[in-house]
Structure 1
Amino acid sequence: MSEAQSSTSRGLPPATSNALAAKAAKSTVGNAILVNKRQKGNPILDHVKGVPWEYNSDIVVDYQVGSTTGLLYLSLKYHHLHPQYVFTRFEKLGRNYDIRILLILCDVTEHQNSIKELTKACLLNGITVVVAWSAEEAGQYLATYKLYEFKSHQLIKERVDADYQSVLRAVLTTVRGVNKTDVMTLKTNFGSFSNIVHAPTEDLQLCPGFGPTKVRRLREAFNKPFYSTGQKPLNMNNGGIHPSAPVELESSLNGAQHIQEVERRVLPPSARAETIQLHRYSSPEWDMEHIAAQPRPGVDMELSLELNPSDEDMPSGHR
């Protein structure tokens, strides 16, 4: 009796049983694809070429194509008859494998809604969807996953040679609209990347295939400031204040109100508490006699300005 079967007989929880089963399967995995016995008679097994496979009743998936890769198989024809079956399999699968795949065999004509529903469910459960349109294609997917189990991602990564022209081509073709022919044209006319960057706009427009739009995009790429994602270039104005938008103030505000309004709109709350040296408007020159002479309707014409306190108002120590 295997470890997984003995755990089931002891009445362990299903999650523990599944974990032990996955562990047992990983310990026996080699060059062969492990096939769950429930898949016996599946026609896709006849199309697994170049890779050995063997039955294993301890795995929770239908096919184990790697030590950390488990694959569930679903026929859409069967899914239409038993729509809850695949969701039960998702629950049993849990998080046992790092890479979880649902291989869908599209063997019905009306498949759009079903694939859409299954894709949404797989996204919520962290499962990759692979759709095969024939049993032969499904078998090829199984064999390919096993064959490339230990292959590096470098196989599908773009290769850029280390020579100057290859690097120049890789850099300039990142600009929208610039192709390999344009790169050769620029190199022939200007020689180096530095000369291309510092070339006048008029000289760039003289090159064959370079119109105003392409030249403008090149200029934007050369002159755009470098900053990481999520950051914005700082605009140091007004002694460290960075206004995010133009500040429009009402003309009726006086000097002190103007400064307070600027601080309220521009500065963050933490900076408002600090003492910041800003340019403050000087107070206007008051002409008391002129103000007193101006008649104001509804107001007593007698202007009383007690600029100097009386003897009664002054403390005894200051008399």
Structure 2
Amino acid sequence: MDNDEVDDSFDDLLAKIEIPTVPKVPKIEKSQSSSNINAPSTSTTTTNGATSVPPSKTAPNTHCILVNSKQRGNPVLKSIVNVPIEFRDDIIPDYVVGRTSCILFISLKYHTLNPDYICQRLKELGKQYELRVLLVQIDAPEPHSALKNLTRITLLTDLTLMLAWSAEEAGKIIETYKQFEKRSPEWIMERVESSPHQKLVAALTSIKPVNKTDAVTLLQNFGKLENLINASEERLSLVVGLGPRKASKLYKTLHEPFLTK
């Protein structure tokens, strides 16, 4: 089949997956609350007439990455070294990295051999979790067709697609999601420079190959932007650390017209 030809072999299965339309609640917390409040207490009578209560499932450690027990032996776990992990039998996703965040993991080779697998997993997951990540390890020589396939699935089922090119990279991605669990979105947003001097430095460093040190040195030498713009190429080349190549590029950029005909 042509690599650009769309594979519709499991569209029927995709159609049966219910696309989340309401906020999703993690099954972990829901099952715990329901078991604590609604579940009747059960007891077992022993031979001597005493009763014993079956032990309940322990609450998950919120500081750990919760790992589905089926992931034991996965090489990605070797790269998770900065966050503790806890194996659980009572979670549906492969990894739970936050109260409302989970990760499904699949290698591209496995997806090629079992194209329906991820759809079945999504049916089991249902509407749980607000952030649902599909982490794909690229381990196939020709990944393009399979990735198109997985991209369609993520678009239809409210998934975030993340790619890793090794087990080590996949492990670090899982670890990072947990480490950033309580970070605000502003933490990774680009910092907007506030002072005029900082804005000028940022503007000058956008001219390759001028770096931040060059920009600061230029402003110290010329005092203000007007003097810098009016300086000759020869004068610019005399600035310590700038040199003829940077001076030529800077002079050319500063004297290019803003509008093109």
The TM-score range, normalised by the shorter chain, is: 0.5 to 0.7
**TM-superposed deviation, 1:214:** 1.1
What residue in structure 2 maps to residue 215 of structure 1?
A: 254
One-letter amino acid matched to 1:123: L
Unaligned runs of 5+ in 2: 1-17, 34-58, 238-246
What residue in structure 2 maps to residue 145 of structure 1?
A: 177
Deviation readout 1:241-279 (Å, 9 max, x if unpaired) = xxxxxxxxxxxxxxxxxxxxxxxxxxxxxxxxxxxxxxx
In the alignment, the residues of structure 1 paired with residue 171 and residue 183 of structure 2 have an alpha-carbon distance, to the nearest angstrom, of 19
1:21 and 2:27 correspond = yes
**TM-superposed deviation, 1:26:** 9.1
Indicate how the Cα distance of structure 1 residues 210 and 75 shifts in structure 2: closer, same or farther if over 3 A, else same: closer
**TM-superposed deviation, 1:133:** 3.4
1:238-257 alignment to 2 at 5 Å? none
Indicate how the Cα distance of structure 1 residues 158 and 26 shifts in structure 2: closer, same or farther if over 3 A, else same: farther
Partner of 1:117, secondary structure, is helix
What residue in structure 2 maps to residue 42 of structure 1?
A: 74
**TM-superposed deviation, 1:101:** 1.0
What residue in structure 1 maps to residue 38 of structure 2?
A: none
Instruction: Name whichever of 122-131 and 30-39 sits farther off.
Output: 122-131
What residue in structure 1 maps to residue 153 of structure 2?
A: 121
1:53 and 2:85 correspond = yes
Partner of 1:83, secondary structure, is coil
What residue in structure 1 maps to residue 143 of structure 2?
A: 111
Unaligned runs of 5+ in 1: 1-12, 224-319
- Tell which has more relative contact order, 1 or 2 (C-alpha 8 A, sep 6+): 2
**TM-superposed deviation, 1:72:** 0.3
TM-score normalised by length of structure 1: 0.49
Partner of 1:31, secondary structure, is coil
Indicate how the Cα distance of structure 1 residues 169 and 47 shifts in structure 2: closer, same or farther if over 3 A, else same: closer
1:157-236 alignment to 2 at 5 Å? 157=189, 165-174=197-206, 180=212, 183-184=215-216, 187-188=219-220, 190-193=222-225, 195=226, 203=231, 207-208=236-237, 209=247, 213-217=252-256, 220=258
Partner of 1:59, secondary structure, is coil
Contact 1:24 1:58 in 2 (8 A): no
Partner of 2:115, secondary structure, is coil
In the alignment, the residues of structure 2 paired with residue 26 and residue 173 of structure 1 have an alpha-carbon distance, to the nearest angstrom, of 54
One-letter amino acid matched to 1:48: I
**TM-superposed deviation, 1:61:** 1.6
One-letter amino acid matched to 1:78: Y
CA RMSD of aligned residues (A): 4.0
Contact 1:73 1:102 in 2 (8 A): yes
Larger strand share, 1 or 2? 2
What residue in structure 1 maps to residue 43 of structure 2?
A: none
In the alignment, the residues of structure 2 paired with residue 169 and residue 161 of structure 1 have an alpha-carbon distance, to the nearest angstrom, of 10
**TM-superposed deviation, 1:104:** 1.6
In the alignment, the residues of structure 2 paired with residue 105 and residue 127 of structure 1 have an alpha-carbon distance, to the nearest angstrom, of 16
The higher radius of gyration belongs to 1
TM-score normalised by length of structure 2: 0.58
Contact 1:47 1:136 in 2 (8 A): yes
